[in-house]
Structure 1
Amino acid sequence: MDVRTLDLQYRNIPINAWYARPQIVRGAIVLVHGFGEHSGRYLDVVTPRLLEENLAVFSYDNIGHGKSGGKRGHCPSYSALLELLDNIIAKAKLLNPNKPIFLYGHSMGGNLVLNYNLRIKSDLAGIIATSPYLKLAFQPPKWKMIVGKLMLKIFPSITMTSGLNPQHISRIDQEVEKYIADPLVHDRVSPIYSFPIMEAGEWAIQNANKLNTKTLLLHGTGDKIIDYRATEKLHKNSKVTDLQLIEGGYHELHKDVGSKNTLDIIGIWLRNSLDLFYSQK
């Protein structure tokens, strides 16, 4: 697999961005990772599966994540995250003129791709959101929420532990071990990162009727990190979504038991979307 880097900065913050191309390109897909992780975790299984569908894959490490610049777990604002995503989409369009563009976001990435479609005018061919961060499946300690909201006003860049339990990402022990051992994974989060994302998740649910792009939602009913019932609620409020619940699935469906089936659902959906796009031209 030939992975090429993209020269990209956002407000003087160096951004680690890359893309991979299949031999025949029918379209492009922008992949957005979850909170605390990085795009490199999608190179082993997810990216090859997307390449099989003749899609050029574009991805990046978000601000404060992976190999990108910025304080770990901190960003300038929620709008900065959407602007950076918009920049990546522009790169994908530039390198793939007249091709359909898809978005694929996991967890926090799912929050971003859904909100991107709701807030920014675009001509996307389709959206995939796996375990989208719309509402936490656990209640953070009350003291942490109080302190966090106070810090949001007086010290928004201070970082605290996110409270994410690595054991809850997958039912496969090896995947949990790799996650814990990954030096680019972190569990830090600033108030300006966490609270706006929570608010954007609730806002997306309430405004899901405004989604105008065909969207595939996948969520495991065993997810102990993000509440799958919030994804169900967003689906009920929209007319353009297809919801696939994975019985007992944990948070990272692409690294969980039955991951091949999950990726096949995504692959077939993308293939059908591409066929529909070209049949209408």
Structure 2
Amino acid sequence: MHQQYKLPFKKYSISIMFTQPKEILGVVVVCHGFGEHYGRYVQDVIPQLEDLGLAVVAYDNIGHGQSSGKRGHCPNYSTLLDLLDVVIERVESRYLDKPLFLYGHSMGGNLVLNYALRRTHHIRGIIATSPYLRLAFSPQKWKMILGKVMLKIYPSITLSSGLDPMGISRIPEEVENYKNDPLVHDKVSPMFSFPVMEAGEWAIKNSNLLKVNTLLLHGTVDPIIDYKGTEAFHQNASTTTLKLMVGGYHELHKDICRNEMLEYINNWLAQQL
């Protein structure tokens, strides 16, 4: 069963989908990365989770995919956590006593880790792939200066994120799929970028407060998000398992190592269940 609908959230219309196996052992909420949408998880990640007996709920964040909102902009970071909170409430009311897992990639990884650290919850486990905790590149200096000025006077203005699609995968076809996806964008506002960066650093410094079993996966050649930030998060925490994919690029689930990566996730989830 695979269903899609629109979830009203404040002034936004959020695109959300869910799918479930016949026998449900648990449920996973999937949070996509910046500039993309949940549809990019339908062919690889979601079927793997469903095969494990997990219902899957995924949504397009504000300003992404089929959800409403200016592309690449959000009111503030708290609103992103509030939306995740609303999605989780819907999931818990639908699946009641089933164990809940969060799966976040890149920006989604930033969100699920910060949610676990900052909000009251009943999460059984977290999977964070290439979590956006620290950039692997330095944005152009003029963009940073302009962005900080605009954060105060025009926080919704959007500029190119500077993300190089070549960094997502070593598979040329996957890069082309990304570049040609009409729902993918590279726009970002100061109100989206700076708070997410700050939340990444905050999460690293406070990961010792994490109480949830968490699997962290990151490629060692990720040119977009620094795997050393994920290492720092892991080293400061007591409930994390870190799996570094040697040679892996940013989107591990669409890279050469995807089978190994997905199998590792399956084994970890099976242990949690």
Shift of 1:95: 1.1
Match of 1:52 in 2: 51
Shift of 1:81: 0.3
Deviations 1:148-181, CA, capped at 9 Å, x for gaps: 0000000000000000000000000000000000
| 2:162 is aligned with 1:171 | no
Match of 2:109 in 1: 110
- Where does 1:121-270 land on structure 2 (aligned, <5 Å)? 121-270=120-269
Separation (CA, whole Å) in 2 of partners of 1:264 and 1:96 = 25
Alignment partner of 2:242: what SS?
A: strand
Alignment partner of 2:89: what SS?
A: helix
Gapped regions of structure 1 (runs ≥ 5): 275-281
AA matched with 2:88: I
Shift of 1:12: 2.1
Match of 1:81 in 2: 80
Deviations 1:63-94, CA, capped at 9 Å, x for gaps: 00000000000001100000000111111111
Gapped regions of structure 2 (runs ≥ 5): none
Separation (CA, whole Å) in 1 of partners of 2:267 and 2:24 = 16
- Where does 1:5-16 land on structure 2 (aligned, <5 Å)? 5-16=4-15
TM-score after normalising by structure 2: 0.99
Separation (CA, whole Å) in 1 of partners of 2:5 and 2:217 = 29
Count how many residue pairs are aligned between Structure 1 and Structure 2.
273
Find runs of 4+ consecutive structure 1 residues off by over 4 angstroms: none
Separation (CA, whole Å) in 2 of partners of 1:7 and 1:47 = 19
Separation (CA, whole Å) in 2 of partners of 1:9 and 1:156 = 24
Separation (CA, whole Å) in 2 of partners of 1:24 and 1:76 = 39
Separation (CA, whole Å) in 2 of partners of 1:149 and 1:3 = 42
Separation (CA, whole Å) in 1 of partners of 2:89 and 2:173 = 36
Separation (CA, whole Å) in 2 of partners of 1:198 and 1:206 = 13
Separation (CA, whole Å) in 1 of partners of 2:104 and 2:230 = 13
Shift of 1:26: 0.4
Shift of 1:10: 1.2
Separation (CA, whole Å) in 1 of partners of 2:268 and 2:5 = 28
Q: Sequence identity of aligned pairs in percent?
A: 58
AA matched with 2:112: V
Alignment partner of 2:61: what SS?
A: coil
Shift of 1:9: 1.3
AA matched with 1:134: L
Separation (CA, whole Å) in 2 of partners of 1:167 and 1:28 = 33
Separation (CA, whole Å) in 2 of partners of 1:32 and 1:199 = 19
Alignment partner of 2:152: what SS?
A: helix
Shift of 1:7: 3.9
Deviations 1:221-241, CA, capped at 9 Å, x for gaps: 010000000000000000000
Separation (CA, whole Å) in 2 of partners of 1:214 and 1:240 = 5
| 2:68 is aligned with 1:72 | no
AA matched with 1:85: L
Alignment partner of 1:16: what SS?
A: strand
Separation (CA, whole Å) in 1 of partners of 2:220 and 2:53 = 31
Separation (CA, whole Å) in 2 of partners of 1:208 and 1:28 = 24
TM-score after normalising by structure 1: 0.96
AA matched with 2:11: N
Shift of 1:268: 1.0
Separation (CA, whole Å) in 2 of partners of 1:136 and 1:235 = 17
Separation (CA, whole Å) in 2 of partners of 1:267 and 1:24 = 17
Shift of 1:6: 3.8
